Homo-oligomer: A and B are copies of this chain.
Amino acid sequence: MIRVIAFDADDTLWHTERLYLGTKTRFMQLLQAYQSPDWIDARLLETELRNLQHFGYGIKSFTLSMIETAVELTEGRIRGSEVHEIIALAREMLQTPVELLEDVEPTIRQLADDHRLMIITKGDLFEQETKIAASRLGDHFDLVEVVSEKTPQTYRAIAARLDVDPTGFLMVGNSLKSDVLPVVECGAHAIHVPYETTWAAEHVPNDVANQYHFHRAHSIREVPEIVAKLNGRR
């Protein structure tokens, strides 16, 4: 029996990657006098990946990476006004209203009737708490965990704290790398609901994913049926 259903947040419950892509486009426009969009894009990703270990995830890290990339790309010729615009982009991102994915609200409402629901999200605590409050979904979740990384150890610790056997734990999320494979490694269940795009740092090759047993859905609205099947089978 599935006792706890946990959801990832960014790009599972609400749009996030879209916001990053939009900001990246404006960042490339800002620097178009200095370099080509493709070159800027590649250098930004490089900076982001290098900074992850120092700065972690989230909009503030992303912004510091944009500023650093801008300084490097322009060989120090970046203007103060341009740095200011990058910080303004960050503040705008942080103030963008939360936009739920289609069917999220009715599905969460339906599942909350019979299950203990939680959110397990990676990233910046301050940003995630702000978004959860803005989503108005908070009341449906018994527990919200903001974690710095999603490893099998992360999920094992959460299941232990909830006193739930892995076979009674289901995770739903858009990232194979963070929401699916480490969960399956713990002997728990996972449903992969891909988002329209995947950030390069979260990419998993097909031949790796194919070694794991998990469920696939096109939309969150398929989750209740998969849960019913999982419960019926046991």
10 A-B contacts (beta carbon < 8 Å): A55-B94, A55-B126, A60-B60, A63-B64, A71-B87, A75-B80, A78-B80, A124-B124, A125-B146, A146-B146
- 1/0 per residue, CB under 8 A from B, across A85-129: the answer is 001001100110000000000000000000000000000111101
Which positions in A face B, CB cutoff 8 Å? 54-57, 60-61, 63-64, 67-68, 70-72, 74-81, 83-84, 87, 90-91, 94-95, 124-127, 129, 146-148
Select from chain B the residue with minimum beta-carbon distance to A74: B80
Beyond the given pairs A56-B127, A78-B83, 10 more chain A to chain B contacts, judged by CB atoms under 8 angstroms and listed by A's residue number, are: A64-B87, A64-B90, A67-B87, A71-B84, A76-B80, A77-B80, A78-B80, A124-B125, A125-B146, A125-B148
Q: In the bound complex, how far is the Cα of B126 from the Cα of A146, in angstroms?
A: 10
Q: Which residues of B contact A71 (CB under 8 A)?
A: 80-81, 83-84, 87
Q: In the bound complex, how far is the Cα of B91 from the Cα of A124, in angstroms?
A: 17
Q: What are the 6 closest A-B residue pairs judged by CB atoms, nearest first?
A: A56-B126, A76-B80, A125-B125, A60-B60, A71-B80, A78-B80
Q: Which residues of B contact A94 (CB under 8 A)?
A: 54-55
**Which of the listed residues A55, A95, A129 has the most CB atoms from chain B within 10 Å of its own CB?**
A55
Give the Cβ gap from A44 to chain B, nearest Cβ, in Å: 14
Q: Which residues of B contact A78 (CB under 8 A)?
A: 80, 83
Give the Cβ gap from A69 to chain B, nearest Cβ, in Å: 11
Q: In the bound complex, how far is the Cα of B124 from the Cα of A151, in angstroms?
A: 20
Q: Which residues of B contact A56 (CB under 8 A)?
A: 124-127
Q: Are B87's CB and A126's CB within 8 A?
A: no
Q: Which residues of B contact A87 (CB under 8 A)?
A: 64, 67-68, 71
